[in-house]
Chain A
Amino acid sequence: EPEVTQTPSHQVTQMGQEVILHCVPISNHLYFYWYRQILGQKVEFLVSFYNNEISEKSEIFDDQFSVERPDGSNFTLKIRSTKLEDSAMYFCAGSSGTPSYNEQFFGPGTRLTVL
């Protein structure tokens, strides 16, 4: 069964450094998402991406964040200058159609630790 993959599984970085989190969605998916979960808290929406552009983003997704789907398979989340409060589990997800009518399939997550 096809699945969403994410790399790395764990990333440790120094405050102020740039990080790129990688996701390979399921091949026939058209809608892509990034969510994050700070330890002990609920999952929060960051951004949705469709047709090569951001369709919706949250207040969390400020100018320090960007997303890209450079080659039609990878879907990346970049944090330009990491802060301590960016430490969280980041989940990539995808769906084959509009989120109103389609399940989302999640990757295993990347745990980001900012020191």
Chain B
Amino acid sequence: KNEVEQSPQNLTAQEGEFITINCSYSVGISALHWLQQHPGGGIVSLFMLSSGKKKHGRLIATINIQEKHSSLHITASHPRDSAVYICAVTWGDKLIFGTGTRLQVFP
């Protein structure tokens, strides 16, 4: 069984701040996903990665396979980044999800 832990559970920031959300998992995986869930409930895939680093706009995701750890960074945060950020790992034919990090960015 693969356990996915995220920290912090809640995060508040001022607009412009650099944000880091962490994810660790207990068993080796083939891929890790970062997802965004908005207040309405919809889930959007941000990144899927199995090694190294990916960047999309102000978002950067990194993974360290040996340490079983991934981070999601948001540079120059904005109130529209306010959402729940979820780490999930591919395990067999499914995703196993972390509990999510609720981010609020204030102007």
Where the two chains meet, the residues of A that have a C-beta atom closer than 8 Å to any C-beta of B are 31, 33, 35, 37, 41-45, 48, 50, 55-56, 58, 89, 91, 99-106, 108-109, 111
Pick from B11-19, B37-45, B64-72 the stretch touching chain A.
Answer: B37-45
Pick from B55-63, B73-81, B85-93 the stretch touching chain A.
Answer: B85-93
Where the two chains meet, the residues of B that have a C-beta atom closer than 8 Å to any C-beta of A are 30-31, 33, 35, 40-45, 48, 50, 86, 88, 90, 92-100
Q: Are A106 and B43 in contact, CB atoms less than 8 angstroms apart?
A: yes
A111 closest partner in B (C-beta) = B41
B30 closest partner in A (C-beta) = A100
Q: Are A99 and B42 in contact, CB atoms less than 8 angstroms apart?
A: no
Q: Are A101 and B30 in contact, CB atoms less than 8 angstroms apart?
A: yes
Interface centre among B33, B43, B86, B97 (most CB of A within 10 A): B43
B47 closest partner in A (C-beta) = A103
Q: Which of B41, B88, B100 contacts A108 (CB 8 A)?
A: B41
B98 closest partner in A (C-beta) = A42
Q: Is the interface of A mostly helix, strand, loop or mixed?
A: strand
| Least CB distance, B25 to chain A, in whole angstroms | 14
Give the 5 A-B CB pairs with smallest separation, nearest first: A100-B30, A56-B93, A45-B94, A48-B93, A106-B43
Set of chain A residues within 8 Å of B50, measured between Cβ atoms: 101
Set of chain B residues within 8 Å of A58, measured between Cβ atoms: 94
Q: Are A48 and B94 in contact, CB atoms less than 8 angstroms apart?
A: yes
Set of chain B residues within 8 Å of A48, measured between Cβ atoms: 93-94
| Least CB distance, A106 to chain B, in whole angstroms | 4
Bound CA span A37–B37, Å: 12
Q: Are A105 and B45 in contact, CB atoms less than 8 angstroms apart?
A: yes
Bound CA span A33–B33, Å: 15
A49 closest partner in B (C-beta) = B93
B40 closest partner in A (C-beta) = A108
Set of chain A residues within 8 Å of B100, measured between Cβ atoms: 42
Set of chain A residues within 8 Å of B92, measured between Cβ atoms: 56, 99
Q: Are A103 and B95 in contact, CB atoms less than 8 angstroms apart?
A: no
List 7 contacting pairs A-B, 8 Å CB cutoff, sorted by A. A42-B100, A56-B92, A56-B93, A58-B94, A99-B31, A99-B90, A103-B33
